[in-house]
Amino acid sequence: MNVRLRKLREEKQISQEKMASLLNISQPQYFRKESNQIGFTEEEWIKLADLLKY
């Protein structure tokens, strides 16, 4: 799933820094979540879906 998230983010030309800011987390924390080292919360997934219009 997170590979698709990265692809969608890149298609929308949104940086990891911007995504982290929109989720109110740090860029390193966003990187760990996007690379599947730690999971997104349900609230974060909802925000991501809204941000990426998915």
- The CATH number for 29's domain is 1.10.260.40
- pLDDT value of position 23: 96
What are the pLDDT digits (tens) for 3-40?
899 999 999 999 999 999 999 999 999 999 999 999 99
The 10 Å Cβ neighbour count of residue 19 is: 24
Number of domains in the chain: 1
The answer on pLDDT for 1 being more than 90 is: no
Domain limits at 21? 2-51
For residues 36 and 53, what is the distance between their CA atoms, to the nearest angstrom?
21
- pLDDT value of position 2: 85
SS3 12: coil
